């Protein structure tokens, strides 16, 4: 039985490029983002990866990344489940603001705390802990059971929704997860043991 889970952060979005807080806002991929998603599909295809099911968020940048990857492994018609439980962390009042402008308004230290702490949310938004509180139950109820059946599962989502998953899968502490960044468009392949723990992890880079 395979029990394989592939996590991919969406390719670069237009707001990533413009250094804006994105959250639940819905900008499209840039040309570079499309290229990153295409490369991810090529790398997975080179491994002979075939998926049984795909999961993505309610946001178009993740959905488009998912679609491009599935095209790359010749599975464009694969069943894909979209759910806002996998959405990016909600940045609340910071959404749409330039990160440098936010630092000028609230100060470097305060913005750093909002961005990188585990449990301090920005005004009107979510902390990483809050994000995990919706991501992890969804994973347990919908994604993990498919993998434990021996299926190969693709999850195309966002930096913080995936960080909250990686924190638990990799057994990271609060301090360790605050220092972790996930690159756009880079697949992480997890193979799971029969007790749902991680047997191996591989990060695919070009």
Rg of the Cα atoms in the chain: 16
In degrees and rounded to multiples of 5, residue 116 shows phi and psi of -115, -10
Residue 10 catalytic?
Answer: yes
Catalytic residue among 10, 36, 126, 158: 10
The single residue listed with the structure tokens 């969804």 is: 138
In whole angstroms, what is the distance from residue 121 CA to residue 114 CA? Answer: 6
In degrees and rounded to multiples of 5, residue 24 shows phi and psi of -90, 0
Length of the chain: 206
Q: What sign has the CA pseudo-torsion 138, 139, 143, 144?
A: negative
Strands 152-157 and 53-56: parallel
Strands 188-192 and 4-9: antiparallel
DSSP class of residue 13 equals B
Residue 31 catalytic?
Answer: no
Catalytic residue among 36, 88, 126, 158: 88
Catalytic residues: 10, 88
């Amino acid at each position: 039985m395979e029990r394989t889970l592939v996590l991919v952060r969406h390719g670069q979005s237009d707001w990533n490029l413009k250094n804006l807080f994105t959250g639940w806002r819905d900008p499209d991929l840039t040309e570079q983002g499309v290229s990153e998603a295409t490369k991810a599909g090529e790398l997975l295809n080179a491994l002979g990866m075939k998926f049984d099911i795909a999961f993505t968020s309610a946001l178009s940048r993740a959905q488009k990344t998912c679609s491009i990857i599935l095209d790359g492994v010749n599975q464009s018609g694969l069943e894909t489940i979209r759910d806002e439980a996998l959405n990016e962390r909600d940045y609340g009042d910071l959404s749409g603001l330039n990160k440098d402008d936010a630092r000028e308004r609230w100060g470097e230290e305060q913005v750093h705390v909002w961005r990188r702490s585990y449990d301090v949310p920005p005004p009107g938004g979510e902390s990483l802990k809050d994000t995990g509180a919706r991501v992890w139950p969804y994973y347990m109820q919908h994604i993990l059971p498919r993998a434990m059946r021996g299926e190969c599962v693709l999850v195309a989502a966002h930096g913080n929704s995936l960080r909250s998953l990686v924190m638990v899968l990799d057994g990271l502490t609060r301090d360790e997860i605050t220092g972790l960044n996930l690159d756009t468009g880079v697949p992480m392949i997890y193979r799971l043991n029969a007790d749902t723990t991680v047997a191996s992890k591989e990060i695919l880079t070009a």
